[in-house]
Amino acid sequence: MFKLTNDFLLIGIGNPGRCDDGLGWAMLDRLEDRGYDGTCEYRLQLNIEDAELISHYEKVLIVDASQAELPGGFRFQQVVPDTVFTYTTHSVAPATIAHLCQDLFGRAPNIYLLEIRGYDWEIGEGLSADAANNLDRALKVLIPSLMNSIGK
């Protein structure tokens, strides 16, 4: 069992009913299966209201599926607050959430984004074999990174 700290939040984004779009949720499930007992939130997408939730934590990791070509099948990066303009509030960029935390709540948590490459976005359950391999590779890097970098 491992727990990072009480001030650490994991957010999995995605839709497990659309195959690889469920990668964010699958990562949280795998971490919980390995004994992680910290705070996990499952979301279909980020919403403006998540800025309030995130403002209560010092460190946040957002895990999401990506259609982008990612070396090694995943990308881990710190989120820089920004006012990313979109024509919809259906889904809000992590950078916008970080900006709202600062602007509305006077808080600047360390927010990280883990994107995992997916391949199959059709309606259905379960990950494609390639997406599952990317998830496994990300998980092997993620646990030590969390424990050594942002988890302490």
Q: How many CB atoms lie within 10 A of CB 68?
A: 9
| Residue extents of the structural domains in the chain | 8-147
**Average pLDDT value for the chain:** 88
**pLDDT beyond 90 at 146:** no
Cα separation, 1 vs 81, whole angstroms? 33
pLDDT at position 123, please?
97
CATH number of the structural domain 8-147: 3.40.50.1450
The residues, any chain, with a CB within 8 Å of residue 147's CB and separated by 6 or more, are: 2, 4
Over the stretch 97-106, which tens digit does the pLDDT of each residue have? 999 999 999 9
Over the stretch 4-35, which tens digit does the pLDDT of each residue have? 556 889 999 999 999 999 999 999 999 988 88
Sheet holding 59-66, edge to edge: 39-43, 8-13, 59-66, 110-117, 74-78
pTM of the model: 0.90
